Amino acid sequence: MYHAKDRGRSNFQFFKMEMNRKAVERQSLEGELRRALERKEFLLHYQPKVNLDTDEITGVEALIRWQQPGRGLVPPSQFVPIAEDCGLIVQIGRWVLREACRQTRAWQDAGLPPLPIAVNVSAIEFREKGFVEVSGRYCRKLAWKRDISSLSSPKAFL
């Protein structure tokens, strides 16, 4: 089914063993994603945003990675679409937001100046009931000791 969907509308595909292999691999990856949440295998890398005129860091972007035992770092392009399809993206997205807020607080506690942080948010997360309230609660509880100008979602696809 996914194979036909990937080919566009008004399409059909005949079964091939390769399709079965891909379906089994996808199902396996979905199970591994569920376990990854439980085992805390996700991590965030922070990419600085730099003002090229002043060389000052003006913010950071939180980028999720999956540190999978036996595979190493798995890029989001390999697991985010599956997480969106199976509904795990909301849990993963909430973890990303909590962790980004926690890290922001740690930087502030270490005496660093507050910086805006950008978090990529899936359209599925935006449509989730209570998204704004939950996001605001994380920010207030975990991150902000003083005003920070924004928590944005620059790459959200609606």
Range 132-144 average pLDDT: 78
Q: Is residue 17 in a domain? A: no
Q: Is residue 7 in a domain? A: no
Q: Is residue 21 in a domain? A: no
- The answer to which of 5-14, 63-72, 115-124, 126-135 has the lowest mean pLDDT is 5-14
- The residues with which 67 forms a beta bridge, in sequence order, are 73
Q: Is residue 31 in a domain? A: no
Q: Is residue 66 in a domain? A: yes
CATH number at residue 99: 3.20.20.450
Q: At what angle do helices 17-39 and 89-109 cross, to 10 degrees?
A: 40
Per the structure, the count of domains in the chain is 1
Return the closest-CA partner of residue 46 out of 109, 111, 120: 120
pLDDT tens digit string along 36-86? 999 999 999 999 999 999 999 999 999 999 999 988 999 999 999 999 999
Q: Is residue 12 in a domain? A: no
Task: For residue 136, give its domain range.
Answer: 42-152
Q: Name the pTM for this structure.
A: 0.77
Q: Is residue 19 in a domain? A: no
